[in-house]
Amino acid sequence: MNELELTGRAQTHVVALENPRCVVHYAAATSVLAMCDAAARVGIQLAIRSGFRDFETQLSIWNAKWRGERTLLSRVGTVLDHSSLAPDDLLDAILSWSAIPGGSRHHWGSDIDVLDAATVPADYKVQLIPAEYAADGIFSKLNLWLDDHAGEFGFFRPYQVDRGGVMPEPWHLSYAPVSLPAMESLSLASLRKVLESSAIEGKPQILARLPEIYTRFMLAIDMPA
């Protein structure tokens, strides 16, 4: 991938699928379809909540959280009071659950957020929180199936345990043949250049802490077995 693709400012590396409806890297498309077919054979309706996400979409999410227009969660999942947070604390709160624009794995088209549509009640709003994937959660069957089978299709979970950066996300899958080279290719210098020219909220705080953000929230992942 080139720098524009790595930072979500181009879509030349992705394709749109109809079933499941999503946009993913062209090299991951066949594996996504195969994994969905395999899940369907055991009664799991694998749906993709989020695939490719461009820079502007990630930027709008970030800016809304910085301005207090979207819910902020602590590292234990409790709702935070935006008005009580100092800039550095606000930065940490956002990064625990949302990637920095330009540094999101969803820019690569390799990463997808998945759920089991077959187990969602008609009146239920999916939250994508760890409790939904726990032993007593609505996606417990999917969670166990992914433990056993995601790797067969080239996928792994980059956020399985708390490493002090991004919080565990059992719904987040990454297609290793694309994401591992992409992670190596996206440099700190490239990320800085993109952010410096962007309209991101909190820019002074972000740029001052960018080396830490790069290592703690982007490179600190669970690698595939």
How far apart are alpha carbons 129 and 116 in whole angstroms?
14
Close Cβ partners of 136 (under 8 Å, ≥ 6 residues apart): none
Domain boundaries, the chain: 3-217
How far apart are alpha carbons 5 and 47 in whole angstroms?
24
Length of the chain: 225
pLDDT at 135: 96
Fold of 3-217: Muramoyl-pentapeptide Carboxypeptidase; domain 2 (3.30.1380)
CB 144 within 8 A of CB 44: no
CB 188 within 8 A of CB 102: no
Single pTM value for the model = 0.94
pLDDT at 182: 98
pLDDT at 168: 95
Low-confidence ranges of the chain (pLDDT < 70): none
